[in-house]
Structures are given as structure tokens and as C-alpha cells.
Structure 1
Amino acid sequence: MASWNTLQQELEQLQMEGRYRPLTVWESGSGAWMTLNGRSVLQMSSNNYLGLTEHPGMKEAAIRAIEKYGVGSGSVRTITGTLDIHDQLEQELARFKGTEAALVFQSGFTANQGVLASLLGPDDVVISDELNHASIIDGIRLTKAQRKVFAHKDMDQLEAALKESAGFQKRIVVTDGVFSMDGDIAPLPTIVALAEKYDAFVYVDDAHASGVLGKNGKGSTDHFGLHGRVHIQIGTLSKAVGAVGGYVACDQVVKDYLIHKARPFLFSTSQTPAVAATCLSAIQVLGQSGDLIAKLWENAAYFRSKVQALGFDTGASETPIIPVIVGNPAKTMQFSDLLLQEGVYAQGIVYPTVAMDKGRVRFIVTAQHTREDLDFALHALHKAGKQILE
């Protein structure tokens, strides 16, 4: 009789290495403080950067959409699943990002898979930063394109890869805008300049830059003033925007091509009306989000400086993603557990998400956090650090 013994053995190995983690089940909605096992815990791992999950206008938009359209869209986009609210959302996203067009996917992950797998063929080459997100890596794996990987933010290696790629039909340089594990920002102006020098396309995944970088959270292209020079911008509706979904902002010809070729788009039911309406409302909210984004960055600068003053290694962080580098996977998870005992939820992240010796507890600061919240977390960090790192 067939059995799952090999799976069980792998799970037991994870437990031995201190890397096994069951799902954490929360009893309240996403916020600065959340309820876990009946206890209020300071949340320092959420991607809800601007606190929009509870925005009253967005909640009202979702309710109105359910009343008008029902709870589901009923089909894929290419049959009966494109409602006028989906079309409005894409028009507003394109306007917000300053591109000809935008196309919405069910998640940022499927956006990367769908776009990369559609645009790249056997006569093309993709050149990717070694620390790009898993969805980019998986999207590239779905293609028959040649692949080149350059060391993280190493522009000399990128240029060498571009020089070596002269014979390919399409050359696409792919990078995260903000790298999710380290919280550093891609050197996009240099990437764009090199791509233009060697006639390559630039593809930026702004999952952690959407709503965070640029005017009103327009992303890394806006942050660096590179409008019209970045060919593919992937955005998320799942993090700072506060809902769920992903999108590509691009030229109209790329959108039209993806409608006919991108398998996640073609074979997945479209966003529910409530989600589409929430995202549409969020774009309007982002247009007035200057104060929220300023608070987010003020909080990030304060927390990072205080964490460093306590003697912790925050790596290359320059955004609201602030890792505390621990190293050993088991010790990393023990550190996370100690913080939880002190009332702070900050997730430990270990191999294979990061290198085996680069385990870290990743803190994410939001605009919702008060100065008192951040000081509470700093006190917990200091206390837990004494126990685990000395």
C-alpha cells in the first residue's frame, strides 16, 4: 500500500532543524495589534503597510459591490468574468502608474508567472537578480528562455550578462523594486541605463514598493523618475493596498498579448466584485495618502535606528522592512518565539527562503504603529536578545 512516509521524514527533519512551523491562526483582522489565542499581540510581520485593510471607504466600496454584483464574478475574464468594475480598475491603475494600460491578475505571484511565461521564448534571454522573489524564479522556470543570474545588485555582472546576450531576440532584465527579505532598494537608474545601452527591456516587481515608494506609493519607477523607461511594472494589491491581487502596468500591445497568452489570466476566475471595488477605492485613497506614507517612513527610520543602537544587525535595510540577522535557523526561530512571549509577533525566516547562515527575524513597520508600539517592540527585542544572542 502506498504511504506518505517520505513526506513525514522530511517534516521530521524540518523539526529537528528547528525550521518546522505550523500555521498561526489569528482571531482578529489585520492591524497593529492582533488577537492570538485570546491575547493581544503587537503585529510586526504584516504587509499592511498603510493600514488600509480597515479603511472605512474601502470597506463600504466592497459592501456596495456585493449588493450590486453579488459575491462572485462567475467566470474567467475572457468569457463572462470581465465586469465593468474590472475594466474601471485597470483604467485607474494605468492612470495611477502612468502607463498606457494595466492588466489585473489574481495575485502578484500569478502576475509574475503569467507575464514572464508569456513574454519569454526559446530565442530570448532573461537576466535576473539572484535575490528576486520566488514568483519571479518560478515564472522564469516556466519559460524556455536562456537564463542568466547576476549577484545581488552587482551592476558589473549585469553589464557582463548583457554583453554576452547580444544574439538573443529579446533581452529582459528582471529585478524586485524592494527586496522582501532584506528591505533594500534596487539600483533602478543604473539598471535602466545599462538596459538602454544594450537594447534590453526592464521588468520590475514592485510588490513591496507599491504604496511605499514614489509619490502616493506609485512605486520604484516613480521614486527614481524613470517613467517611460521601465517597460514592465508588476504591482500588488495585496500588501500596502490592503486587499488582494496583482497587476502588470505596461504598453497596450503587451496587455493585449497577455490577454491571449497568460495562462493564469486565461484559466482563473476573475477577482470577486468586492475585491475589485476595494482595489478601485484604494487607488483613490492612495491619491490622498501623503501623510500616511510620511508616517510609514518616519516610523521605519525611528525603529531601524533604535534597533541598530541596541547592537542588532539590520543588514541592508533601507525601507520599512527591517530584518534582525541572527544566522543559525534554530536560533532564529527561538528568537522569534521569545519575542512572542514578550507580546511581539515578528516572524523568523530561515532556509530555504534565505541562505542557511542568514536566518533573520523580519520586522515590518507600518503607518499604524504608534511610537509607543515601536518602543514596546524595542523593549521586547532587547530582552529577548539578551537571552538568545549573548
Structure 2
Amino acid sequence: MTPPSTEPKAALTCHWSDRFVSAATKRRAQGQWRYRRPLATSHGDFAGNDYLGLASDPRLAEAEAVGARRYGSGAGASHLVSGHRDVHERLEHRLAEFVGRPRALLFSTGYMANLGTLQALCDSGCHVFQDRLNHASLIDGARLAGARSRRFHHGSLEDLGRLLARAPIDAPRLVVSDGVFSMDGDVAEIGALADVSARHGAWLMIDDAHGLGVLGPHGDGCVGHTHGSDRVPVLVGTLGKALGTAGAFVAGSEALIEHLIQFARPYVYTTAQPPGVAAATLAALDILAAEPERRERLHDNIAYFRHEAAQCGLPLLASATPIQPLILGDESRTMAWAMKLREAGLLVGAIRPPTVPRGEARLRITLSARHEREAMDRLLESLVNLAREEQS
């Protein structure tokens, strides 16, 4: 019989502290350490995803308060136990109608929606083909499923077709792409992706997190009613960006949604979305339909900002969406610019590897319908001054 260890307990567990220190030291040395900075106000915010300015709309706050008073501050259980309320049911119906699908299913976050969908659809026998610039949640979802995953060159239909042609003909195949790419702001060629997928017998899944509420004739995104369930069988959308609340949904056929309800573990084992948030999202959908001028103002702001940036010689990436990246390349330079902008009262996202490829560190400027031209002009002037300071 082995005698019990006499080694101090601290000695048995100290390796965890060593691991933390080692990881932190490495990340700091790479210039990739991240910080959280509490904000008292959203003034000067060019970093968030509140594209239509709905997050601070008092009508949403009131709808959420009314919902909380009626149903309570939390759902109290998962959807499959007792957390699924009539307000959730109404929201799912509205979302399905909004994007032209038979059914929709609520998730607590967009990350969970992608994890749950890929985990439920795929297994080790499934072949998944993803754009290289897909969001981390899509990459992680395929890994969680244990699927055989290949990544095609960004936006390359030729590379995708070549990879699909190599896959076993009898294997389930799923093509996955962002609708709007969150770091570059460009839009996927949905129609062409659907054509290539159909030609090779693959399903197509689009995460339209940054297109929903922004693109499309009615704000239904870059997929919506334009590309139906036969073309894009799996559509994911988030509620915490243009709609100004929180959570996400998956929309598709009756069979798809029932499959997710039964097999998507992040859905099955998570407490349902707070009912007040669902009520606020219903209010957001009402406002989106009644006030198209919000989208018009947003796109006017995008056009104005891009025109003025070009006049100032600021080399923005080609993007017709609210995401306007300014590539600076060097990570320390990117952080220095972001810090100086913050000191001037302007909050801009500083994006570094591993979120973007090495050598492509950038300022990720995001525009909103609530931005006034005076604020955009102040940001542009500050960016020009930073460039001049480097040259002097």
C-alpha cells in the first residue's frame, strides 16, 4: 500500500500559478495583453457595435423594465424546464418572420449560438469548410464537434470549390462563413457561396451578426429574405449589435430548429434569456421597422466618414459597413494611437494578433447612426494629427 504523500499541499498545486505567470509573461512580451477599462459614458465611442444607436434608446429600457416587472429579472430555468415564457415564444416568431425563415431559436449569446449549432450538426464524420477570417466562435464550434475542418482563403470561391471537390462524396459537408467580417468590414458573397455549396452537395451556414439590422432592404441583413432557406439553410443572428439588446438566434427550417432544441448542448443546459431582454428586443424590432431613417443615417455617416478619410489620406480598408479598419501594422504603434485617442475622449478599438494576422494590427473604427458629424470630424482630425506627429 502506497503511503500518503507528506509533500505540502501548496507544493502540489503551485504549478498552476507557474502556468499563469508564464502565460502572462509571454503575452505581455508579445504586446498582446488586454485590459478592461470601465466607462462612465458612451460619449466618443467609436469601438462598440451599437450600429443603430438603440442600446441607449429609452424605449428599449422601458420595455425591458416592464418585462422584468411582469416576468421577473431572470427566467429561472432553461427553456426546456420552465424558463421558456410567452415573451420568448413571441420573439422567436418575430425573428423568424424578420429573416424569412419558418422557425427561429433563441440563444443567450452569439458565441453559444455558433457553438451549439456546429456541435449539434456535426461530428467526426462531417467535413466543415470555413473562411479563414471567420469569427472565433465558428472555429471553436467545429473543434467542439470534432469535425474535420478546413479553412479556405478569405473570400476565395475557387479555393472553397477545390476543397469541397476533395471531400468524400458520401460525407456530410457544411460551408460556414461570416456575413460581414467583424475585423475587416467586408461582406461575403452569399449568392456565390450558396452556388458553390449547392454544386457540391453542401449546406451553407452564415453568421450575419454584423449585417442584421444594417444591411438588406428592411434591415434583415445580408441574407434575410434575399437568400431563402433553400440557399442558406442555417442563419445565425445576434441581438446585441444593431438591435441594441443581448443574445442571439438561429433561424431555419422546422427540422433544423427541432434538432437544435434536442441536441444543441449550449441551448439545452443554459438558463433562458432574461424575459426583460426578450421584451426589449421586441421593442427594437418595432423601432427598426418604423424608423428606416436610422439605417439611412448610419449609411450616410459611413459615406461621409470614408469620403473625409480619403481626403485626409487615411488608408481605410474597403468597407461599406459600419466597420472601418485603419491598418497600422505594428502592435505597439496601434496601442499608442488608441491610448492617445482615449486621452482625447475618443474610444477606438485597438485590434492585435491573434485576433488579426501578425503585421495587420489596426484601429477598428465603428460607426453608428447616433454619431454626429462633429464627433466624426474630431476623430478624423485626431487621426491626421497622430500621423503627422510620427512624420515630424
TM-score range, shorter-chain basis? over 0.9
Q: Give the match for residue 162 of structure 1.
A: 164
Residue 352 (structure 1) aligns with: 354
Residue 384 (structure 1) aligns with: 386
Deviation (angstroms), 1:88: 0.6
Post-superposition offset of 1:166: 4.5
SS of 2:337's equivalent? helix
Q: Provide the C-alpha distance between the structure 2 equivalents of 1:373 and 1:84, rounded to a whole number of angstroms.
A: 42
CA contact (8 A) 2:185 2:324 kept: yes
RMSD of aligned Cα (Å): 1.5
Report how far residue 20 of structure 1 moved: 2.0
Structure 1 SS opposite 2:151? strand
- CA positional deviation for 1:293: 0.5
- Percent identity of paired positions between Structure 1 and Structure 2: 35
Task: Report the count of equivalent residues.
Answer: 378
Alignment partners' CA distance in 2, 1:220 and 1:75: 34
Structure-2 residue corresponding to 1:105: 107
Report if aligned partners of 2:314, 2:384 keep a CA contact under 8 Å in 1: no
Separation in 2, partners of 1:231, 1:62: 32
**Structure 2 counterpart of 1:211, which letter?**
G
User: Given the superposition, is the C-alpha separation of residues 354 and 235 from structure 1 closer, same or farther in structure 2, using an over 3 Å criterion?
Assistant: same
Measure the CA separation in 1 of the matches of 2:165 and 2:36.
46
Aligned partner of 1:309 in structure 2 is: 311
Partner of 1:227: 228
Shift of 1:386: 2.0
Is the contact made by 2:235 and 2:251 (CA closer than 8 Å) also made in structure 1?
A: yes
Equivalent AA in structure 2 for residue 27 of structure 1 = A
Q: 1:122, 1:145 within 8 Å by CA — same for their partners in 2?
A: yes
- Alignment partner for residue 52 of structure 2, among 50, 72, 93? 50
2:277 aligned partner: 275
- Bigger CA radius of gyration: 2
Within 2, Cα distance between the matches of 1:370 and 1:168?
Answer: 55
SS at match of 1:330: helix
Given candidates 65, 68, 71, the residue that maps to 1:69 is: 71
Q: From 23, 28, 37, give the equivalent of 1:10.
A: 23
5+ unaligned residues in a row in structure 1: which ranges?
Answer: 34-41
Q: Match of 1:227, as an amino acid?
A: G
Q: Given the two structures, how large is their TM-score scaled by the length of structure 1?
A: 0.93
- Deviation, 1:127, is 0.7
- Displacement of 1:169 in angstroms is 3.2
Q: Classify the secondary structure of the residue corresponding to 2:81.
A: coil
Tell me how far apart the structure 1 counterparts of residues 357 and 35 of structure 2 sit (CA, whole Å): 21
Structure 2 unpaired stretches of 5+? 1-10
Residues 299-356 of structure 1, C-alpha deviation per residue, up to 9 Å, x if partnerless?
0111122223322222232211001100011111111112112221112100111111
**TM-superposition CA deviations, 1:171-206 (whole Å, max 9, x none):** 111000000000000011111111122221110001
Query: SS where residue 217 of structure 1 aligns?
Result: coil
Specify the alignment match of 1:208 in structure 2: 210
Alignment correspondent of 1:90: 92
**Residue 217 (structure 1) shift:** 1.6
Maintained 8 Å contact 2:239/2:247: yes
Distance 2:186 2:138 in 1: 17
Give the structure-2-normalised TM-score.
0.93
Question: Structure 1 residues 308, 262: closer, same or farther in 2, change over 3 A?
Answer: same
